[in-house]
Structure 1
Amino acid sequence: MSRFVVIGLLFTLTLAVQATAAERPNIVLMLCDDIRWNALSCAGHPHLKTPNIDRLADEGIYFENMFCTTSLCSPSRATILSGLYAHQHGVTNNFTDYPANLDSFPRRLQQSGYRTGYIGKWHMGEKSDEPRPGFDHFVTHKGQGKYFDTEFNFNGKERRVVPGYYTTVVTDMAIEWMKQQQTDDEDQPFMLMIGQKAPHSFYFPEPKYEHVFDDVEVNYPHSSFKLDDKPEWIQKRLRTWHGIYGPIFDWRKEFPDDKASGVIDFARMVRAYWGTILSVDDSVGHLLAFLEQQEALDNTMFIFMGDNGLLEGEHGMVDKRTAHEASIRVPMIIRYPGWTKWSGPVRVQQQVLTTDVAPTILDAAGAEAMNDLHGASVKPLIAGDDQKWRREWLYYYNYEKQFPYTPNVRAVRGDRFKYIRYPHGDGSDDRHMAELYDIENDPEESTNLINDPEYASTVAEMQQRLIKSMQAVGIDPAKDEMPIDAGIGTKLPDKAIR
């Protein structure tokens, strides 16, 4: 082979490598805290208008059945980073930080040449605001942060209060960081995670959105008063921190209050929750406008999602943690023309989990995959290939002594039926009634079929499917470790951890 042919081949190979590098997308992941799956106008919300988030759905991939595997902030965030269930990554409560030696998709991207950044609410390891592994740029704060004037730690070098509304502040910081990446090296891709505080309690909308929903009538859901076929613990929860007759995140000052007039406080809370989401939509709009201005939008995978769902009065409950639909469903929308340029907008109906986020991002980036994950890339679903996709999956939650309002939960959600049980934690018989719902025909979970003789065989089948779903993620049902369920408490949680 002549020297000129070799040089020509090397030149061609170099161009191919450069083209591959240039095609690696930037990645922007906006993670909202406690956002309901249907709190968007593209999801059919009757009052919220979210045109910028709707644009993502109109131009990208909308996941109609997206779920978290544990409906609690820190465990769910660790699952998003790692692709693992909580028993595997070790973050099983809201007080444990992400293990420093555990792999994550930001680490893999960093190793593959991405510049990586995190700006906003981290929400793992409540007392630390120091930089975490896997990120070149890391700006966060201790604990929950505040809707106004939060003190941030900038890369472990400086702490200072940044005046302004949280959602706007982190958006501005995100844009400034992305500008710097464009200045430093336009050919090197970046990954940026933006941790929004909104719409987590306590809900304080931006002043311009404080009164947008004042004229919208808000009532307790009908399911709040249909509890006869529900486990007793749900009825006991009504008057607690996580029930509609309790303080509802301090919006009600005198409680418990089961009078009809008490709905006024509930309505104020819900309206404020909606108000915080309007600022999130503004944030998405500002980020999209910046990326368009930089001519980088179509080479960016933009992911909008939540860490867990939120009960908004369903079955008489607020907060999350339970295995009911409003608690476990989250929104996720991905705009990435690299995967949809031939198909146009896509709506995915298959059951997608937070375990799937990390492998999906690494797939798009062409980075080395992580091993032995509980999730998989969603890319095949976009092409309509779901032959190997899950038909059922495990949901679980462990009782917390700091928030003793929800028992241990072990559930399996199939395409049609959901089965929920509440183990005591010591291997003895369950002390709470189980639940069985026909999700396909009863999406609001209004009728518990657990004691219906016509569904006895379905109960037996779902019990076996629960065992199989546990085994599929490496849990031996006979050795399933969990706290002892000490019962539903009425004492308010410590103010420092609310």
Structure 2
Amino acid sequence: MSDDSPPNVLVVLTDQQRWDTVGAYGNPMELTPTVDAMADEGTLFEQTISPQPLCAPARASIQTGQYATDHGVWKNGIELPDAAHLLGRQFAEAGYDTGYIGKWHLATTGTDPVPPDAQAGYDYWRAADILEFTSHPEEGYVYNDNGERVDFDGYRVDAMTEHARMFLERDRDRPFFCVLSYLEPHHQNDMEAYVAPEGYADRYANPWVPPDLEGVPGDWYESLPDYYGICRRIDECVGDLLETLAGQGVRDDTIVVFTADHGSHFRTRNEEYKRSCHEGSVRVPLVATGPGFADCGRVSELTSLLDLPPTLLDAAGIDPPEEMAGRSLLSLLDDVPDDWRDEVFIQISESALGRALRTDRWTYGVYDPDAAGTNSPASERYRERYLYDLRADPYQRVNLVGHDDYAAVADELRERLADSIATVEGDRPTIEPATHQHF
């Protein structure tokens, strides 16, 4: 590839994968040697936060570069509106061969195929709207771009990887943009269980327990061996894809990104696996290699998944559309801009109607005590619910909200959060101080 040729782009998107499953972020289980090597040779973003820790809203944000209240998918079960600024359409318009494989979750077709006009600009399509309904860990089906059913046997991660490999090996005379969207390590809904490939959970029968989970009621004790086994298999499959790129002679010409839509707190913070402002829910891995990202080390600044779409476009020489709320992360790889953010804004739905700020030191969260999280995308009134000092309490074991000693901190964060809500959503809400302490 000549210096002025646009790069290929491969995005590997996992579902419900915590940042600390990756060795480069400190996991001691040796689950991710492939992604760790990517971090060594490329760029690792240390503090990447999901703008909405829920499957469909987060995935819509990746496709649009917008907050949930802007793209409209503020909870599961809402169709992503078609628009010219969608990531797949942007790459297709720029002449890229586009492919999408795996879990979509942005239509309302359920187990029926997503129609071609709702495939968001992706030409090669091997996906299902709700993949956990069309498949189980060892068998199932997706649909192709014509709506024809494509069955698979064997482990689902392997099957999706094979579909991606076939796309990467296609004859083409133009660059490609491919999103491989695994369902894993998300639990299988109708089984209420995480399911690793045969024999993989046994390797992690005595797992490292993340400190935010240790000693806290939840289902981490029975889930971690399988969860870790799934993460290991995903990493092996990413290695297979890198070998495929090398075999095609395009490894050095391809940007490869590894990330997740949100994390999992294993029902330690609410009755869900996510849907909260805690690190286990909102913090995700983000590792990039290839043109523009080689040998850039670790980036400590706060970043959002909203930054991923404009970053990919920027790296491909495509001007990000003005509808995208994030900023290209390429600007962090030389000198950090003076106006880079010092907070990430988070929207919460379904478990509660909430909002949060994640700064370098603090997590501050609010909710509407009188509203269900499934009935409305926003509120005019919130109440303080969470305040964590990440410097003193990185595992969020002590909730400081309502504590007199932290009233000044809460006052400042309350104003900053209200400002963020007004900037993103257009209306400035009332945020009521907590009336008692929470621990």
Q: Distance in 2 between matches of 1:416 and 1:219?
A: 19
Choose the corresponding residue for 2:205, options 206, 214, 239.
214
Q: Distance in 1 between matches of 2:329 and 2:202?
A: 39
Which residue does 1:166 correspond to in 2? Answer: 156
CA contact (8 A) 1:117 1:191 kept: yes
2:386 is equivalent to residue 435 of structure 1: yes
Q: Which amino acid aligns with 2:245?
A: L
> Alignment partner of 1:435: what SS?
strand
Q: Which amino acid aligns with 1:119?
A: I
Quote the offset at 1:474 in angstroms.
Answer: 3.5
Q: Distance in 2 between matches of 1:478 and 1:385?
A: 32
2:348 is equivalent to residue 397 of structure 1: yes
2:363 is equivalent to residue 410 of structure 1: no
CA separation of 1:475 and 1:439: change in aligned 2, threshold 3 A = farther
Which residue does 1:360 correspond to in 2? Answer: 311
Which residue does 2:92 correspond to in 1? Answer: 110
Q: Which amino acid aligns with 2:69?
A: H
- Residues paired across the two proteins, number: 411
CA separation of 1:368 and 1:386: change in aligned 2, threshold 3 A = closer
Choose the corresponding residue for 2:196, options 202, 205, 214.
205
Deviation track 1:308-349 (CA, whole Å, cap 9, x = no partner) reads 11103544765000011111101110012x2245xx241011
> Alignment partner of 1:351: what SS?
strand
Unaligned runs of 5+ in 1: 1-17, 226-237, 239-243, 249-265, 401-405, 481-498
2:262 is equivalent to residue 308 of structure 1: yes
CA separation of 1:162 and 1:479: change in aligned 2, threshold 3 A = farther
Quote the offset at 1:117 in angstroms.
Answer: 0.4
2:122 is equivalent to residue 140 of structure 1: no
Which residue does 2:418 correspond to in 1? Answer: 467
Which residue does 1:83 correspond to in 2? Answer: 65
Quote the offset at 1:220 in angstroms.
Answer: 9.1
Unaligned runs of 5+ in 2: 189-193, 372-378, 432-439
> Alignment partner of 2:344: what SS?
strand
Q: Distance in 1 between matches of 2:211 and 2:359?
A: 28
CA separation of 1:354 and 1:100: change in aligned 2, threshold 3 A = same
CA contact (8 A) 2:16 2:186 kept: yes
Deviation track 1:225-253 (CA, whole Å, cap 9, x = no partner) reads 5xxxxxxxxxxxx7xxxxx2xxx5xxxxx
CA contact (8 A) 1:224 1:317 kept: no
Q: Distance in 2 between matches of 1:410 and 1:111?
A: 35
Which residue does 1:192 correspond to in 2? Answer: 178
Which residue does 1:326 correspond to in 2? Answer: 280
2:328 is equivalent to residue 377 of structure 1: yes
CA separation of 1:436 and 1:114: change in aligned 2, threshold 3 A = same
Quote the offset at 1:440 in angstroms.
Answer: 2.2
CA contact (8 A) 1:417 1:436 kept: yes
Which residue does 1:258 correspond to in 2? Answer: none
Which residue does 2:435 correspond to in 1? Answer: none
Q: Distance in 1 between matches of 2:84 and 2:76?
A: 17
326-335 vs 93-102, which deviates more? Answer: 93-102
Quote the offset at 1:471 in angstroms.
Answer: 2.3
What TM-score results when the alignment is normalised by the length of structure 1? 0.77
CA contact (8 A) 1:94 1:125 kept: no
CA separation of 1:393 and 1:214: change in aligned 2, threshold 3 A = closer
Which residue does 2:437 correspond to in 1? Answer: none
Q: Distance in 2 between matches of 1:333 and 1:428?
A: 37
Which residue does 1:298 correspond to in 2? Answer: 252
Which residue does 1:153 correspond to in 2? Answer: 143
CA separation of 1:376 and 1:422: change in aligned 2, threshold 3 A = same
CA contact (8 A) 1:117 1:193 kept: yes
CA separation of 1:332 and 1:275: change in aligned 2, threshold 3 A = same
CA contact (8 A) 1:410 1:420 kept: yes
> Alignment partner of 1:28: what SS?
strand
Quote the offset at 1:419 in angstroms.
Answer: 1.5
Q: Distance in 2 between matches of 1:19 and 1:315?
A: 50
CA separation of 1:223 and 1:353: change in aligned 2, threshold 3 A = same
Deviation track 1:352-392 (CA, whole Å, cap 9, x = no partner) reads 10110110011011113211321010001111323121111
Q: Distance in 2 between matches of 1:208 and 1:77?
A: 31
Q: Distance in 2 between matches of 1:221 and 1:190?
A: 40
Which residue does 2:375 correspond to in 1? Answer: none
What TM-score results when the alignment is normalised by the length of structure 2? 0.87
CA contact (8 A) 2:113 2:147 kept: no
CA separation of 1:85 and 1:50: change in aligned 2, threshold 3 A = same
2:339 is equivalent to residue 339 of structure 1: no
Deviation track 1:411-449 (CA, whole Å, cap 9, x = no partner) reads 12222222211123567875x662211122221112222
CA separation of 1:319 and 1:286: change in aligned 2, threshold 3 A = same
Counting helix residues as a fraction of each chain, which structure ranks higher?
A: 1
Quote the offset at 1:160 in angstroms.
Answer: 3.0
Counting strand residues as a fraction of each chain, which structure ranks higher?
A: 2
Which residue does 1:452 correspond to in 2? Answer: 403
CA contact (8 A) 2:418 2:430 kept: no
Identity %: 29
Deviation track 1:91-115 (CA, whole Å, cap 9, x = no partner) reads 1111112212352121111001101
| Aligned-residue RMSD, C-alpha | 2.4
CA contact (8 A) 1:205 1:276 kept: yes
Quote the offset at 1:223 in angstroms.
Answer: 6.5
2:367 is equivalent to residue 422 of structure 1: yes
Deviation track 1:18-72 (CA, whole Å, cap 9, x = no partner) reads 95652x1100001000000101122211224211111111111101100101100
CA contact (8 A) 1:57 1:345 kept: no
Which residue does 1:38 correspond to in 2? Answer: 20
> Alignment partner of 2:202: what SS?
coil
Q: Which amino acid aligns with 1:330?
A: V
Q: Which amino acid aligns with 1:200?
A: H
Q: Distance in 1 between matches of 2:324 and 2:297?
A: 25
Q: Which amino acid aligns with 2:86?
A: S
Greater C-alpha Rg = 1
Alignment of 1:263-282 (within 5 A): 266-282=220-236
2:115 is equivalent to residue 125 of structure 1: no
